[in-house]
């Protein structure tokens, strides 16, 4: 399967713990996006990378959130000192650059986070 893969698919953690999610984009895609989605809502943009450069961060991305894409391939999203409000599905997506390609992004299956 050459789609976007995310790991873990499900994570239950206690409030205050740190969690890390990993995303492997489609191999030829140099743009990688992180979104968050809660029940009944659309995906909300968190941050995105072009190659290893983090180009944009949403104000939703508090200081407890950090994302990296060290070699321009896979990415990690870490949430420190988790809060119950962090419970959501964290979606990773990728796309190539150029033209209208940014309008067509390919999502992974998501990582469900439950903070108890």
Which residue number, 80 or 112, has a Cβ lying nearer to other proteins? 112
Which residue number, 12 or 18, has a Cβ lying nearer to other proteins? 12
Contact footprint for other proteins (CB under 8 A): 4, 31, 33, 35, 40-45, 48, 55-56, 91, 100, 102-110
SS3 96: coil
Taking the complex as a whole, how short is the minimal distance between the CB of residue 65 and other proteins, in angstroms? 17
Which residue number, 14 or 41, has a Cβ lying nearer to other proteins? 41
Taking the complex as a whole, how short is the minimal distance between the CB of residue 16 and other proteins, in angstroms? 28
> Distances from the Cα of 21 to the Cαs of 10, 34, 43, 101, in angstroms?
10, 10, 17, 25
* Helix segments in 32-77, DSSP class H: none
Taking the complex as a whole, how short is the minimal distance between the CB of residue 21 and other proteins, in angstroms? 14
CB atoms closer than 10 angstroms to residue 113: 20
Q: How many whole angstroms separate alpha carbon 17 and alpha carbon 73?
A: 27
């Amino acid at each position: 399967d050459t789609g976007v893969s995310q790991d873990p698919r499900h994570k239950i953690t206690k409030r205050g713990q740190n969690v890390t999610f990993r995303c492997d984009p489609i191999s030829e895609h140099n743009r990688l996006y992180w979104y968050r989605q809660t029940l009944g809502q659309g995906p909300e943009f968190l941050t995105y990378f072009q190659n290893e450069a983090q180009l944009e961060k949403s104000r939703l991305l508090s200081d407890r959130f950090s994302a990296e894409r060290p070699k321009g391939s896979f990415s990690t999203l870490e949430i420190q000192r988790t809060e119950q409000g962090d419970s959501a599905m964290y979606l990773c997506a990728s796309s190539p650059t150029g033209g209208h390609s940014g309008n067509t992004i390919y999502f992974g299956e998501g990582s469900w986070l439950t903070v108890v």
